[in-house]
Homo-oligomer: A and B are copies of this chain.
Amino acid sequence: MKHLCEHPIALTELLQGSDHQSGAGLLFTGTVRNHHAGRAVRGMSYTAHHALAEAALETICRDAETRFDIVSCRIIHRLGELQLGDISVAILVHSAHREAAYEASRWAIETLKQKVPIWKQEHYVDGADVYLDGTTLDQAL
């Protein structure tokens, strides 16, 4: 798996490898929060359609590199059981100029949320487990 991982996301590894072409780096991380819509959260599960999610994430990275004036886009999404403060997704963009990095990073996370077959189930402190309502794929019937 290139974009999906079952273990904690290693930011240090992701950030390694200096890139002499690029002048700007932008790392977005999504983290499990301790509250959602007023309810206290104790953890989160992420599941995926592995083949489709890998392909969709790869497409987002390559599209980002085409649409924006960036050098590279990498995305890692974690699956499995996450604790509070754990990182669920990391998006790293490198570019020569910072404007493009901000635009590409923002586009990548928005697109990920709309296109990638991954599901989040929140576990509340009160014991309830709730799948959050998501975004319907364009291909839905």
Contact = CB atoms under 8 A, between A and B. Distances in A.
B11 A31 contact: no
B25 A26 contact: no
Contacts of A106: 102
Interface of A: 11-12, 15, 18-35, 84-87, 96, 98, 101-102, 105-106, 109
Contacts of A105: 26, 102
A11 B21 CA distance: 20
24 contacts: A11-B11, A11-B12, A11-B15, A18-B86, A20-B33, A20-B34, A20-B85, A21-B33, A21-B34, A23-B30, A23-B31, A23-B32, A23-B33, A24-B28, A24-B31, A25-B27, A25-B29, A26-B26, A26-B105, A27-B27, A28-B98, A28-B101, A33-B96, A102-B106
